[in-house]
Structure 1
Amino acid sequence: MGFVVTNECASSALADIAHAEPFEPRYEPRSDELRNLYREEGQAKRRMDARPGLWIAVAIYLLFSATDLLLIPDVALYTITARFAVGVTALLILEAQLRQGVGTEWIDVTCAGAIIFGYVGWLCPAVMGADKESVSYYMVFGTIFMMSANLFFTFKFSLSIVTSAIILVILYVVNYFVPSTLMYKMVFGAFYISCFTFTSYVNWKLNEERYNVFLNALEAKIQHKEATERGQALLNLSRTDPLTGLENRRAIDEKLRDYWSDWQRSGSSFVAILIDVDFFKRFNDYYGHQEGDRCLILVANALADMIKQYNGSIGRYGGEEFIVLARMEKREQVADIAEAIRSTVENLALPHEQRRDGISLVTVSVGAAFTRPQIGAKLEKIIHEADRALYLAKAGGRNCTWLFDPNDPQSSDESENIAALLKIAIGQDLVSLVYQPIQNVASGRVEAVEALMRLKMLDGTSVPPSLFIPVAERTGAVLALGRWAIRTVCTELLADDHVRVVSVNVSPIQLKTPGFATSVAAILTETGVAGSRLALEITEGLEMEMHSDVLRCISDLKLLGIRIWLDDFGTGFAGLSWLRLIDFDTVKVDRSFLHDCGTPRGKAMLQDIIALVRNRGHKILVEGVETDEQMAVVREFDIDKIQGFHVGRPAPAASFRARPITYKRPFSVVKSA
């Protein structure tokens, strides 16, 4: 059995034992250490038992005054007086000691002294009685005091032996001087020895039994403590993220329910903040998983220290995502804590050389949602709102914060309505395509069209693409919509040769999805359309991460003969890397560069971009051509293709079926509703 050394260190030692690994041996204290602990723990019990023990003993001692009146009436007044004097004095001394907090040993001495003086104080006047025979027999009651020392009080064994031995000596002395026969002296002398031996032996056995009970109790205490600590350790383990040491999703969800209950019950508002490490997959792939783990640990530690200032809680919500919960009184305070989170990670200055957004440090995107009165509000609502805010922070360039705003069309409840609408859009014919012509500048012919998606509400109200496309990407609805768009352009225009080439925008989410190239191949086979008739436009943006899945998907699409175009070139930081890695058929220069050509600096910028793309050998398409002046600029720069209102506005497929596929002059069709 394993035990601790002292009473004061028992708790810490038990805790150490409980936290020890199963293969770690317990500390085995020596016998003398256990005895010391037993005595120290026994002091508290002796101290607690002393007061009621002595009070009861004194009460019984005083009740024996009745026998004094019966057996030694001539000296009863003196014995009774002695009884009261000794008893009251002993009680007063004990109470004074307890009040002053004297040591347990002195309290034991007081009780032992009360036994001795109680006997002596009674015996002295008793032996002066006239009836010597009665006194000699009555003196046998002295063995009661001997038994009291050994059995009634819980003295240390040594003190019990000394006290009972003093009583024995007194009995023998009195027995010797009391006039009696030799037989009387021998019989009662043997009786006194027997009482002393018997009570001392019983006392010794009781002390041993108390010691064994102490050992068993201590072992039970250790086992209980060990079981409790291990149970708590298992509970903590089930609620702790093994990598960062933060609370895991289970623990945070429990805490979130507590926060939510407090808000519903007493109006204690709080904020939920989702934190995502920017471009972490690139970091992990380039620096390795060990460095990736180290990065997450450093970020977690820094955020945990910072959140303490706000009395908040932080946990790992999965992967490279963290969550913070903190009580806040005002919505205005949320911006402070969100910015503190962002700047804390940025100030770590952890290198990240694989980003393509002009930043070479590890940063985070932060999305926050604050409690607000809502009809039928549910716990999950605030997390959904924080998640939508995080998505907008990432879409807004990363390394920034975004607070959910119910009045913002991009993050409001309206976007949730749109998300629900997108689930039924295809089945309810709420989604459609319009097509905008793309003209070859040299020939003046329309050699392709771009498919543009449109969405309408159940009541026929149009939903802007700027609103529903981000929602589709965030919810994953873009996967089904993307397949539908490719199938639709094949059946509406390509299968019957109404146009030569149709371009369709694809989301990075589609390219990352396993089996996307296979699904496109199946659509081409089903509709009988050659892959060269289809162009897929990849938007240059922060969401387009150059990992192996995307590059492999693009390679598979090109094997099908599909043309790959780079859309909106120049608006992000990834374009140059994409030009280096992928052989694009066409690069579409963003309209903003053409519209800035009204200044010499803007025109020079467009000229530089065109030269850069042309040196890579790609065809160049400029978007946003709307005026004759802009048309003159593209001719001056010898642009290959153009797109914009100067060429034609987006129109339904029927407009292209009614026309030949080549045009000598730019045209314009009425924009659909």
Structure 2
Amino acid sequence: MGAEAGKEFGTRNVLQSGFVVNERASSAVADAVDAEPPRQELGAAELRTLYRTEAQAKRRKEARPGLWIAVVIYVLFSVSDLLLIPDVAALTITARFAVGLTALLVLEAQLRRGAATDWLDVTCAAAIIFGYIGWLCPASMGANKESVAYYMVFGTIFMMSANLFFTFRFKVSIITSTIILCILYVVNYFLPATLIYKMVFGTFYVSCFTFTSYVNWKLNEERYNVFLNALEAKIQHKEATERGKALLRLSRTDPLTGLENRRAIDEKLRDYWNDWQKLGHGFAAILIDVDFFKKFNDCYGHQEGDRCLIQVADALSDLIKQHDGSIGRYGGEEFIVLARMDKKGEVADLAEAICRTIENLAIAHELRRDGISIVTASVGAAFTRKQTAAKLEKIIHEADRALYLAKASGRNCARLFDPTDPQSSDESENLAALLKIAIGQDLVSLVYQPIQDVASGGFEAVEALMRLKMLDGTLVPPSLFIPVAERTGAILELGRWAIRTVCAELLAQDHVRVVSVNVSPIQLKTPGFATSVATILGETGVTGNRLAFEITEGLEMEMHSDILRCISDLKLLGIRIWLDDFGTGFAGLSWLRLIDFDTVKIDRSFLHDCGTPKGMAMLQDIIALVRNRGHKILVEGVETEEQMVLMRQFGIDKVQGFHVGRPAPAANFQTKRAIQKRPFTVLKSA
């Protein structure tokens, strides 16, 4: 029976399963999910061992209730003793109570001591045998031998008890039933009865034994089959559970780095937020952006880029584990960290540690243009604080604004969101809303600062400068609203408006010869910018050589093909390209090499430092460098006659500053002839 059942189980291919997910390679994970889980077949001997182990547990569990029920029924049959053998009923009843109580006490003692299951089976089987013997001996002493002879038939009940009340192994059940059968035959042999009686009841006893043995065999076989089916169902359930867990991990895991993906992080963010709202457990949200990662990919290839992200992810993961936080990949080269903390100092320290951890990896990045030759990251952090109308998305938005400031501050640094800082606080949100309506509400305007030709002293050009006022008329400094305009994209519409206004106010009526307009790198990166400028020139009837676009060097001014192509298209329109604030950024020399600028504007700080020999030498070196490249030179910040004399001595082409003229509205320049007669007197008074 065991071999056949084992063969049946083998044909069912009941197996153990394994499921391994490679959390780093998405293809491996997908293959593991799509493929059938590998199975390892269990042999008949292994199945038998497993079945016996499980059967022992079941027999152990059922031994106590089985014996208690059997003893109770055994004792209740005392009523039949009183009716059928009243003369010895006292003895049989005493025997019943003695055997039953002894069996229960022995079993309870064994259970308390943790006896083996086989010994519990022996105790229960012995209770059946001695229960029959203990009742049989006093019962056979009864005076009415005929009643006793018929009463002996009840012995078959003890034969069947092995299957009624217990789940013995087949061997134990057969041995128990056989002992009862032998006792019945011995009693049947010695009873004073006819041969026919003995033959009939002897046949009856054998029939009962055969029937109970067959039933016992079938029950054991059925138990084994139930075990096999349950085992198969359990394994299938385990496979389905593991497959579900693997799919869940896949849906929540970034396939490249093995970190949590945006979906998983968003779920954790909600959990953190709920704990903050309900329990007051503060937390920090930290955004991490790998600096100049596009250039890294362009330089080393996408495979090395992937390796770089994996190294960064592993290093950050080790760091964040120390703070019991969560880290995930938020997209591209951006990561996010969530950590429970509510002290400003702790958040700042963690943000700075993140910066230094990535820097200490020392991953080579030779194509950077900021003087650093390794991979670094910019970090923006925000933390929970008491505020009105707080929303879940707000803390991420604040971290993003802090990250923007970190990039604007030179990258490879960490910035913590400060609600009192107008660059990052809610005030910038008010400015963003104001910029959306600025043009329509006439809140934005232009003023113009004159530029003088040093050699002739004539009026060379003007620079258009944007001004913004609030609804109550309060002026907003450009240092506040320009970064917000760039961050929100409002600079695109403002830039087009500025170019159109310059053409309409001054150039179309030939009030001035050239107007320079500051152009953001974001505008140069925008597809179709040169086309939109050409459209404005066509609509206003202004030729391109009347416009100059000032481009400020800096970290945001990356030398990729889109910007270079846009500058080339603008020069084809005749527009002059000036490099603004030369010397303050990081890309000046590279831009001088790549682009043929019409004019290079040297930042005012170099002129103001001329009071020292070192500062004077620095200015002369910069002038010599630019002059050797063949560009015209414009120096900003000329505020005194002494500085003007110095510019003449150095042979500077153009100057700009309060000594030349202060910014003034367009009306001051719209009478060209009057301005030419007194070019700067009117402007200074303005």
**Which bracket does the TM-score occupy, shorter chain normalised?**
over 0.9
- Select which of 547, 553, 576 maps to 1:540: 553
Question: Structure 2 counterpart of 1:311, which letter?
Answer: D
Shift of 1:21: 5.2
Cα distance between partner residues in 2 of 1:265 and 1:326: 17
Shift of 1:425: 0.5
Shift of 1:512: 1.2
Match of 2:28 in 1: none
Match of 1:531 in 2: 544
Shift of 1:29: 1.6
The alignment status of 1:606 with 2:630, answered yes or no, reads no
Shift of 1:152: 2.5
TM-score for both structures, normalised by structure 2:
0.93
Match of 2:373 in 1: 360
Deviation per CA, 1:83-130: give whole Å up to 9, x if none: 112111111111111111122121112111111111122222222323
Matches within 5 A, 1:177-216: 177-216=190-229
Q: CA RMSD in A?
A: 2.0
Shift in CA distance, 672/113, structure 1 to aligned 2, threshold 3 Å: farther
The alignment status of 1:308 with 2:356, answered yes or no, reads no
Match of 1:9 in 2: none
Match of 2:366, SS state, is coil
Match of 1:536, SS state, is strand
The alignment status of 1:62 with 2:75, answered yes or no, reads yes
Checking the alignment, whether the CA contact within 8 Å between 2:285 and 2:383 is kept in structure 1 is yes
Matches within 5 A, 1:377-526: 377-526=390-539
Match of 1:6 in 2: none
Match of 1:132 in 2: 145
The number of residues matched between the two structures is 663
Cα distance between partner residues in 2 of 1:510 and 1:224: 58
Shift of 1:17: 9.1
Deviation per CA, 1:615-642: give whole Å up to 9, x if none: 2221111111111222222222211111
Checking the alignment, whether the CA contact within 8 Å between 2:19 and 2:243 is kept in structure 1 is no
Range that drifts further, 541-550 or 68-77? 68-77
Match of 1:27 in 2: 40
Match of 2:606 in 1: 593
Shift in CA distance, 392/537, structure 1 to aligned 2, threshold 3 Å: same
Deviation per CA, 1:276-316: give whole Å up to 9, x if none: 11111111111111111111111111111111121111111
Structure 1 gap segments, 5+ residues each = 4-11
Shift of 1:475: 0.7
Cα distance between partner residues in 2 of 1:146 and 1:16: 50
Match of 2:202, SS state, is helix
Question: Structure 1 counterpart of 2:385, which letter?
Answer: R
Checking the alignment, whether the CA contact within 8 Å between 2:17 and 2:37 is kept in structure 1 is no
Shift of 1:20: 6.7
Deviation per CA, 1:592-616: give whole Å up to 9, x if none: 1111111111111111111111222
Cα distance between partner residues in 1 of 2:575 and 2:241: 65
Match of 1:361, SS state, is coil
Shift of 1:666: 7.0
Structure 2 gap segments, 5+ residues each = 1-5, 7-14, 22-31
Match of 2:56 in 1: 43
Checking the alignment, whether the CA contact within 8 Å between 1:649 and 1:669 is kept in structure 2 is no
- Select which of 116, 130, 145 maps to 1:103: 116
Shift in CA distance, 302/668, structure 1 to aligned 2, threshold 3 Å: farther
Cα distance between partner residues in 2 of 1:354 and 1:666: 47
The alignment status of 1:296 with 2:303, answered yes or no, reads no
Deviation per CA, 1:223-278: give whole Å up to 9, x if none: 33333332333222222222222222222222222222222222222111111111
Question: Structure 2 counterpart of 1:526, which letter?
Answer: E
Match of 1:341 in 2: 354
Range that drifts further, 433-442 or 167-176? 167-176
The alignment status of 1:281 with 2:301, answered yes or no, reads no
The alignment status of 1:79 with 2:92, answered yes or no, reads yes
Shift of 1:154: 0.7
Shift of 1:373: 1.8
Shift of 1:668: 4.9
- Select which of 204, 209, 217 maps to 2:230: 217
Shift in CA distance, 272/27, structure 1 to aligned 2, threshold 3 Å: same
Match of 1:443, SS state, is coil
Deviation per CA, 1:29-67: give whole Å up to 9, x if none: 223322322221122221111111110101111111121
Match of 2:27 in 1: none
Matches within 5 A, 1:222-233: 222-233=235-246
Deviation per CA, 1:560-596: give whole Å up to 9, x if none: 2211111111112111111111111111111111111
Checking the alignment, whether the CA contact within 8 Å between 2:19 and 2:37 is kept in structure 1 is no
Match of 2:335 in 1: 322
Question: Structure 2 counterpart of 1:464, which letter?
Answer: P
Cα distance between partner residues in 2 of 1:371 and 1:672: 51
Match of 2:29 in 1: none
Shift in CA distance, 668/29, structure 1 to aligned 2, threshold 3 Å: farther
- Select which of 169, 173, 181 maps to 2:182: 169
Shift in CA distance, 84/666, structure 1 to aligned 2, threshold 3 Å: same
Match of 1:7 in 2: none
Range that drifts further, 282-291 or 78-87? 78-87
Shift of 1:555: 1.6
Checking the alignment, whether the CA contact within 8 Å between 1:116 and 1:145 is kept in structure 2 is yes
Range that drifts further, 74-83 or 20-29? 20-29
Shift of 1:384: 1.4
Cα distance between partner residues in 1 of 2:642 and 2:389: 56
Shift in CA distance, 670/385, structure 1 to aligned 2, threshold 3 Å: farther
Cα distance between partner residues in 2 of 1:669 and 1:202: 121
Identical pairs, percent: 81
Cα distance between partner residues in 2 of 1:209 and 1:235: 38
Question: Structure 1 counterpart of 2:396, which letter?
Answer: I
Match of 1:118 in 2: 131
Shift in CA distance, 129/527, structure 1 to aligned 2, threshold 3 Å: same
Deviation per CA, 1:382-437: give whole Å up to 9, x if none: 11111111111110011111111111121121111000000000111111111111
Checking the alignment, whether the CA contact within 8 Å between 2:342 and 2:383 is kept in structure 1 is no
Shift of 1:648: 1.0
Range that drifts further, 14-23 or 99-108? 14-23
Shift of 1:670: 5.0
Question: Structure 1 counterpart of 2:436, which letter?
Answer: K
Cα distance between partner residues in 2 of 1:566 and 1:594: 17
Checking the alignment, whether the CA contact within 8 Å between 1:646 and 1:666 is kept in structure 2 is no
Shift of 1:26: 2.1
Checking the alignment, whether the CA contact within 8 Å between 2:431 and 2:481 is kept in structure 1 is yes
Match of 2:11 in 1: none
Question: Structure 2 counterpart of 1:545, which letter?
Answer: E
Question: Structure 2 counterpart of 1:341, which letter?
Answer: I
Checking the alignment, whether the CA contact within 8 Å between 2:95 and 2:134 is kept in structure 1 is yes
Shift in CA distance, 194/600, structure 1 to aligned 2, threshold 3 Å: same
Match of 2:192, SS state, is coil
The alignment status of 1:627 with 2:632, answered yes or no, reads no
Question: Structure 2 counterpart of 1:444, which letter?
Answer: G
Shift of 1:671: 7.2
- Select which of 580, 583, 586 maps to 2:596: 583
Range that drifts further, 527-536 or 235-244? 235-244
Match of 2:610, SS state, is helix
Shift in CA distance, 385/669, structure 1 to aligned 2, threshold 3 Å: farther
Match of 1:94 in 2: 107
